[in-house]
Amino acid sequence: MKWRELTISLALFFVLTPLSECLVAQNVQPQDVQNSKDSIYFMPDDEEGVYTSDVPMKAYDKRVHRYRKRWESMIPTQFVVQNAGNMGFLSFGVGWSYGKRNQWETHQLVGFIPKYKSTRAKATITIKENYIPWSIYVGKGMQIEPLRTGLYLNAVFGTEFWNEQPGRYPNDYYEFLSTKFRLNLFVGQGVTKIVPKNHLYFVKSVSFFYELGTCDLYIRAKVQDHSVKFWDLMGLSLGFRFQLL
């Protein structure tokens, strides 16, 4: 009799234990559970109290999160198209916006110069740093950037341009070191149209901007020759910026 009672008790234990766990699991709805990187939160129906179960992250998990965050920061957030500006006829590239107000931008552009009267077309590459101190929202999804400023380094690829003076010229024939690289400064303005959330497909916003810029060679010419007019130093550049993320 004792063995029979023991057998029945064990059978009930193995049957009822999984059943009770299932009933408890059914009482926790999917919307009652929220996951984060380091915690699992169970949200009860009443708002009087919240039970929180903190799951401490191990050193490996922290390293994985840092690794992913660093790689995610390399994902471009912008696509840029720009005309002129000592970059070539057209330049295309990607950009990154960052800072507390996204006031900083870094653009990497590749452009081309048509051959015109030369023997062939040429390619250019540009690394550009923009600073946008503030923007003003004017309503209807429009905002204005009253000031855009920054600098960029541009390089032209071709045998006509060099980084160091070729040996066919006498020493110090040219006073400047390089015809291949140019340092440029600019100021400008921009206007942005924010895409409504119900129409978001590819971009968050589209911006049009213009820039007035000059380069180190033009500034040098102005310093050496005072007859050079100020506006002879400046060049106009137009562009579009598509905010992806």
Is the backbone of residue 102 left (phi > 0), alpha (psi -120 to 50) or beta? left
Indicate where the chain has its CATH 2.40.160 domain(s).
75-243
Predicted confidence (pLDDT) per residue in 86-137, tens digit: 898 999 999 999 998 889 999 999 999 888 777 788 899 999 999 999 999 9
For 158, left (φ over 0), alpha (ψ -120 to 50), or beta? left
d(CA 88, CA 61): 47
Spatial separation of the C-alpha atoms in residues 159 and 68, rounded to whole Å: 42
128 closest CA partner among 146, 110, 102, 147? 110
Closest CA to 158 of 118, 198, 129, 107: 118
**Dihedral sign of CA atoms 19, 23, 24, 25 in order:** positive
Assign domain 75-243 one CATH number from 3.30.720, 2.40.160, 3.30.70, 1.10.760. 2.40.160
- Name the residue with tokens 């100021």: 187
Q: Is 187 exposed, middle or buried (0-12, 13-18, 19+ CB in 10 A)?
A: middle
166 pLDDT more than 80 = no
What integer pLDDT is reported at residue 204 of this predicted model? 93
180 vs 125: which has the higher pLDDT: 125
Q: Which amino acid is at 217?
A: L
Beta sheet of 33-35, edge-to-edge order = 33-35, 39-42, 51-54
Rounded average pLDDT over 147-167: 79
pLDDT tens digits along 204-220? 999 999 999 999 888 88
- Quick: pLDDT tens for 40-86: 444 444 444 454 556 677 888 888 888 888 888 889 999 999 999 88
Report the share of the chain in percent with pLDDT over 70: 70
